[in-house]
Amino acid sequence: MSYKNYKEYPFVNLINREWPSKRITNAPIWCSVDLRDGNQSLPTPMNIEEKLSFFNLLVSLGFKEIEIGFPSASNTEYQFTRKLIEENLIPEDVTIQVLTQSRDHLIEKTFEALIGAKNAIVHLYNSTSTLQRKVVFNKSKEEIIEIAIHGADLLNKYSLKYPETNFSFEYSPESFTGTELDYSLEICQAVLDVWKPTPEKKAIINLPSTVEMSTPNIYADQIEWFCKNLSNRNSVIISLHTHNDRGTCTASSELGLLAGADRVEGTLFGNGERTGNLDIVTLALNLFTQGIDPKLDFTKLTQVVELYEECTKMSVHERHPYAGKLVFTAFSGSHQDAIRKGLQVREKENATYWEVPYLPIDPHDIGRKYEEIIRINSQSGKGGAAYILETEFGFFLPKSMHDDFGKIVKNKSDQSSSELSPNIIFNLFRDEYINIKTPYHLKNYKLNSVQNVETDENIVQLQALISINQEEREIQGTGNGPVDAFFNALHDSNINGCNFISYDEHALEIGSNSKAVAYIQIENKGKRYFGVGVSENIDTASINALVSAINRCN
């Protein structure tokens, strides 16, 4: 790797830059280019029906400006444009946008494709970069400006030919980031001099990072410099169209908005040439997490992903921001524990704002579910398995039991070398702790309880029939409760040499007929063991939990 083959991108000499101190306070004008830039980047471009499904998706999400294609480039693009217009498929509040190079016959066919449209943006572009002027076109700066001016003149001419359409014009100096900054301004100013926009009827100047060539702060400097030096800024909408060659186009767009841009072009999930375009889903939800209305509706993001994948034959990566299948999961034990505690505190305090460790957004807000948050594998901690049992099955394990069960889960995951589903986790819990019946098994029992109200003393006498290695035996004992009486009965019969450590219980379901669950911890020869009992009778649940714990230490 010869790093000496590369040179540093030019620094912008911007005096008193203002964008670092600004904040984004509202959503930009959004323009989806999925049906043009995104579509031309697919191994198999969408057919007309797929493009129509995608168009309807974009409308349902709230896009008001949609670049539908390059109608002069192919018959499919032309026919799709005509279908939308002739079948009246474009909502009144949606403006379609089409792209054309600054060439006579392409511009003429573009306007023909738009006949009958109510609102349309004609997006004109020509390449302005230093490299393309030298290598591709072999033209001077003046000749490149003349190409742009000629195209701008033709847009004026054809718009007068079709007065039934409300036309807006957009110009892109393609490869803006590869063009000298002062020259970019010069050519854009020349185009605007032809169009003569006003504050009431603005033109769009789109400043694309056709190839992302610098850190996002330099792109922001370019946008701020451009905005400050444009002579008729109040008559122009400054638009961004970032690509992801350096992997930082989201940051570039965000900083570009801080620097004065009004509008953003991009695609769902970032599909586009080479490494892709700006991902509008990511940028919009970034705004959402800052308390800003993005003006786009991603409350059913899973369905959006499904339709996107169906139409494009592309897949959304499992770790894709917000949309990936794994982005609301936690395999790390410390993460799982923090998420679990955060959700519990939020529910307890009825918090106004969303604040949960490791989750910058409430999954419910984009149509995801909490059961997807924690996934269990060999890297998971004690909190994750406990959370699954709590949220999926209603078992609230005592804190001291989390580590004990966590080790069992880790061992199982290590053996299988795979993620464990909630059902597998519950089966492990059941088989390891609940009502273990060998070598000891409770067959039946009878209680006689006397409560001395004056002394607040409770005396419980217990008679029980137990099976020890399939041999039945009667035992009896006395204590201050059923568990204590059963524990003493075992001691009196020289069956149990354990010490009682802790007891917890809760209802497994809500209602008078709900089952109860009891957790008991005992100690035997310096080691501690848990047992769990479940029954409609809390006494039975408790005694079975004790039997299970004893069985686990034998």
Q: pLDDT 10s digit of each residue in the chain, 554 long?
A: 888 999 999 999 999 999 999 999 999 999 999 999 999 999 999 999 999 999 999 999 999 999 999 999 989 999 999 999 999 999 999 999 999 999 999 999 999 999 999 999 999 999 998 888 888 888 899 999 999 999 999 999 999 999 999 999 999 999 999 999 999 999 999 999 999 999 999 999 999 999 999 999 999 999 999 999 999 999 999 999 999 999 999 999 999 999 999 999 999 999 999 999 999 999 999 999 999 999 999 999 999 999 999 999 999 998 999 999 888 887 777 787 888 889 889 988 988 999 999 999 999 999 987 554 566 766 666 677 888 898 889 999 998 999 899 889 888 888 887 778 889 999 999 999 997 888 999 999 999 988 776 777 789 999 999 999 889 999 999 998 899 999 999 888 888 778 999 999 999 876 656 799 999 999 998 899 999 999 999 999 999 999 999 999 88
Distance between CA atoms of residues 369 and 35, nearest Å: 30
Chain center to CA of 98:
30
The span from the CA of 398 to the CA of 379, in Å, is 22
* Rounded distance between C-alpha atoms, residue 240 and residue 455, angstroms: 81
CA 239 to CA 242: how far, in whole Å?
Answer: 10
**The pair of three-digit structure tokens given for residue 382, joined into one six-digit string:** 């004690």
What sign does the dihedral 16-19-21-26 (CA atoms) show? positive
Q: Angle at Cα 23 formed by Cα 17 and Cα 24, nearest 5°?
A: 120
C-beta separation of 261 from 239 below 8 A: yes
Residue type, 3: Y
- Looking up tokens 């738009």 gives 114
Which CATH code for domain 28-298? Answer: 3.20.20.70
CA dist 537 to 265, 504, 515, 541, Å?
Answer: 64, 15, 7, 6
Torsion angle, alpha carbons of 434, 440, 441, 442, to 10: -100
Residue 115, sorted as left (phi over 0), alpha (psi -120 to 50) or beta, turns out to be beta
φ and ψ at 123, to 5 degrees?
A: -100, 105
Task: Report residue 419 CA to chain centroid gap.
Answer: 21
Cis peptide before 439 (omega within 30 of 0): yes
Q: Where in the chain is the domain with CATH 3.30.160.270?
A: 440-552
pLDDT the model gives residue 140: 92
Dist CA 158 CA 169 (whole Å): 12
The 10 Å Cβ neighbour count of residue 424 is 17
All CATH 3.20.20.70 domain ranges in the chain, comma separated: 28-298
End-to-end CA distance of the chain: 63
pTM for this model (two decimals): 0.76
Q: Report CA dihedral (246, 250, 253, 256) to the nearest 10 degrees.
A: -80
Question: What pLDDT is attached to residue 453?
Answer: 67
Q: What's the half-sphere exposure (Cβ side, CA atoms, 13 Å) at 297?
A: 10
User: Where do runs of H (alpha helix) occur along 138-248?
Assistant: 141-161, 181-195, 216-229
| Amino acid occupying residue 349 | E
Distances (CA, A) of 8 to 3, 218, 293, 444, 501: 11, 12, 38, 83, 68
Report the pLDDT value the prediction gives residue 378, as an integer from 0 to 100: 63
* Contact between 540 and 517 (Cβ < 8 Å): no
Q: What is the pLDDT of residue 551?
A: 92
pLDDT of residue 379: 65
Q: Could you count the other beta carbons within 10 Å of the beta carbon of residue 151?
A: 24
User: Which tokens is 346 given?
Assistant: 């939020």
* Cα–Cα distance measured from residue 293 to residue 73, given in angstroms and rounded to the nearest whole number: 36
Residue with tokens 């305090």: 349
Q: Are 69 and 80 in contact (CB under 8 A)?
A: yes
Tokens of 213: 């060539």
Would you state the structure tokens that stand for residue 515, as one six-digit string? 């089952």
Continuous segment of H or E residues that includes residue 340: helix 333-349
The third-level CATH classification (topology) of the domain covering 440-552 is Double Stranded RNA Binding Domain (3.30.160)
